[in-house]
Structures are given as C-alpha cells and as structure tokens.
Amino acid sequence: MSQARIIDGKAFAAQLREQVAAEVARLKAEHDLTPGLAVVLVGEDPASQVYVRSKGEQTLAAGMHSETHRLPAETSQAELLSLVERLNDDPAIHGVLVQFPVPDHMSQAAIVAAISPDKDVDGLTVTNAGRLASGLPALTACTPAGCMVLLRDVVGDLRGKRAVVVGRSNLMGKPMAQLLLAADCTVTIAHSRTQDLAAVCREADILVAAVGRPQMVKGDWIKPGATVIDVGINRIPKEDGKTRLVGDVDFEAAKGVAGAITPVPGGVGPMTIAMLLANTVSAAKRLNGIAG
Ligand SMILES: Nc1nc2c(c(=O)[nH]1)N[C@@H](CN(C=O)c1ccc(C(=O)N[C@@H](CCC(=O)O)C(=O)O)cc1)CN2
C-alpha cells in the first residue's frame, strides 16, 4: 500500500516567518514602521500559556513589537473590554488578540465585538468575517489561512476540487469554507448533525477535519488520494498516565489511503502563529496607508 505525503507544517511556517521578518525589516527601513502585536491571556489554561508565550517569542524574533497582557481568571469582562479599548487606541499596536478559551463568566462574542476590525488579526469580527464572505480584502482567521498556504502548495490548482470541511466554528470551519469557496472549490460544510458523515467525507478531494474529537475521521472515510488537513489538537491519556497529542483524524489509518496528510503535531498548528505574524504586518500596513 502506498503511503501519503506527510505535509511538514513546521517547515512551511519557518519559511513564512522568514518572509515576515524580511518585510518587517523593509517596513522599518523604508517607512520607519515597526508592526506591533498585543496578546491578552485571561487565566492560566496550560495550553494557552504555551501558545501565548510562543506568540510573544515569534513576534520578537520577526523584529516586531510584542506585548503580552496576562490577566487573572477572576478579571471582570468590563476590565478586559477596557484593556481591549486601550489597545485599539494605541498607535504602537496594529494587532489585538484575546487568546481563547476565556473563562466561563466571559462572552467570547462580546470580546470579539470590542476589537477594532482594523486590528482584528484573528479575523473574527463581524466586519472581517463579512468582508471575507463578500470577497473583499479582510484580515482572515490564522489557522484557515495557514491551511490554504499548505493546500496551494500540495494540491496546486484548487479550482473545481470537492472540499469537505468537518466543523462549523467561527474560528475555523466557517472561514475555511469561505476561503475554499473563494478558491473555486465545491464546498460542503459538515458537522455533528450531518447524516452519514462518512459518506460525505468520502466525496472529498480535500478533507479538512476541525471538529475537536480525537481520531474521529477513520481511514475508510477518506477518498483514495485525497488531501487531508487535520486541524484537531487533542490530548489523550497514554498508558503511563501522561498524555499525547492526536488530531481529529486517525492518522495511522488515513496515511495509507490519503495522497497527502498533515500530521499532529507538526502540521497545521505551527502555521497558526506564522499567519498571525503575517496578519499583523498586513494590519500595520493598512493602518499606515502602505500598499501591498
Ligand atoms: N484567539 C485565538 N485563540 C485560539 C486560537 C486562535 O487562532 N486565536 N487557536 C488555538 C490555539 N493556538 C493559537 O492561538 C495554537 C494552537 C496550536 C499551535 C501549535 O503550534 N500546535 C503544535 C502543538 C503544540 C502543543 O504541543 O500543544 C502543533 O500542532 O504542532 C499553535 C497555536 C486556540 N485558541
């Protein structure tokens, strides 16, 4: 049985970070502009702490200005919103991101609504989601944007391909479907209520799994030769009491059927932060009237 190409997201992310760093150097030299990203973390979710630390480190490594605001879990929503407003008004900051998940007493929708669309480097505001859906230039959610970079390289011409996105979140499933549609794919969004999900997945030339359920997509759900993008990051217990990271796809079974597949870890995940840096540079340029 032939084995799928394993898509090296780490290598793509490293390449993208280099391009971002080169553009930052140019903006500094030619426009005296240093793109700035502010990340806000509320509470102490262990995975979020790791991601937020990486965001700060990678922002600095690209030559950008970085601010990390760590707030205790008991912070009120009003306090968080007032920090977001301050960051919206800060000329040194071009990207504002509140790390999710937030504590249960906060409304994710209210937080997103408070972020200036011009600084919304997560692409989550109604303005950016609407612009994307309308085919207008928009800041686009980082993970789906990263998936598109991988797909364009691996698949090449996406026009006319049948794409199935399993998952309908605002952060992943919906923008992913919009980006695939904009690339002229024939797109189906599937979800927990989809009937005969396996049969729907089997139609896909491009299958994007973003459901948050460990190894839910089985090998026999995949069309032979399909490109499989696994967005899931699930920690499951090991026999020794520790945990290991798996995606939403049964990788071992899928790699014998797919033409290409992203691993977890090392697939889509690293693209998320690299795209965040790219979005911050785009936001800085737009806010300063710099084309390109
Ligand atoms: N405001 C946001 N919150 C969250 C987002 C987001 O895009 N915006 N996405 C995720 C978390 N996330 C970035 O924030 C993120 C997730 C995973 C990775 C990554 O590199 N994963 C590695 C594995 C790392 C590990 O061991 O956990 C990989 O897949 O190889 C980067 C960023 C939820 N919140």
Ligand 1 mean position, distance from CA 266 (Å): 11
Extents of the domains making up the chain? 32-116, 142-269
Q: Is 122 a catalytic residue?
A: yes
Q: Is 3 a catalytic residue?
A: no
pLDDT in tens, 223-277: 999 999 999 999 999 999 999 999 999 999 999 999 999 999 999 999 999 999 9
> 167: Cβ–Cβ under 8 A, 6 or more apart, which residues?
173, 176, 189, 190, 191, 208, 209, 210, 211, 212, 231
Would you say domain 32-116 falls under CATH 3.30.460.10? no
pTM for the model: 0.97
Q: Is 233 annotated as a binding-site member?
A: yes
Confidence of residue 292 (pLDDT cuts 50, 70, 90): confident
Whole-number average pLDDT of the chain: 97
Ligand 1 mean position, distance from CA 2 (Å): 31
| Matching fold, domains 32-116 and 142-269 | yes
What CATH code is assigned to 142-269? 3.40.50.720
pLDDT of residue 1: 67
Ligand 1 pocket test target in 45, 87, 99 with most atoms within 8 Å of CB = 99
What is the identity of the amino acid at 147? C
**ipTM > 0.95 for the complex:** yes
pLDDT of residue 120: 98
Helix, strand, coil abundance in the chain, percent, nearest 5 = 45, 15, 40
Length of the chain: 292
H helices present in the chain, as ranges: 9-31, 46-61, 77-89, 108-114, 126-133, 142-155, 173-182, 197-202, 251-254, 269-287
Residues in contact with ligand 1 (CB, 6 Å cut-off): 47, 50-51, 97-100, 122, 142-143, 171, 233, 245, 264-266, 269-270, 272-273
Question: Which residue in 122, 205, 248, 250 is the catalytic one?
Answer: 122
pLDDT in tens, 50-65: 999 999 999 999 999 9
Confidence of residue 2 (pLDDT cuts 50, 70, 90): confident
pLDDT in tens, 169-196: 999 999 999 999 999 999 999 999 999 9
DSSP-derived secondary structure letter, 222: S
In three-state secondary structure terms, 7 is: coil
Phi/psi of residue 93, nearest 5 degrees: -110, 125
